[in-house]
Amino acid sequence: MLKCRELLRRGIVWKVGKGDNISFWYDNWIENRNLADILNISNENIPKSEAKVNEFIQDNVNWNIPKLMQTLNNHPII
């Protein structure tokens, strides 16, 4: 099983579900990297560092685009 670990890691996709257990900034739920690294934001500049993914989803279905835009400031999201 250990021989397949890297192959599985590259092919595994996060199932966000409710997103209440996934760190918005620090878990690798996008592109197998965390959002802070993708956007090149240092830890001291992260707004609400304890945020979870579910805080940006409306009615457990759609992204809350205005909240994402506000939180991510000038970083493109779409």
Mean pLDDT by 10 residues, the chain (78 residues): 57 71 90 86 89 89 87 73
pLDDT score, position 60: 73
User: From the centroid of its chain, how far is CA 59?
Assistant: 18
Token duo for residue 7: 């192959």
Token duo for residue 8: 């599985």
Q: How many of the other CB atoms lie within 10 Å of CB of 2?
A: 5
pLDDT score, position 54: 92
pLDDT score, position 10: 61
CA pair distance 37, 45, nearest whole angstrom: 12
CA pair distance 28, 50, nearest whole angstrom: 15
Burial class of residue 24, CB neighbours in 10 A (0-12, 13-18, 19+): buried
pLDDT score, position 40: 87
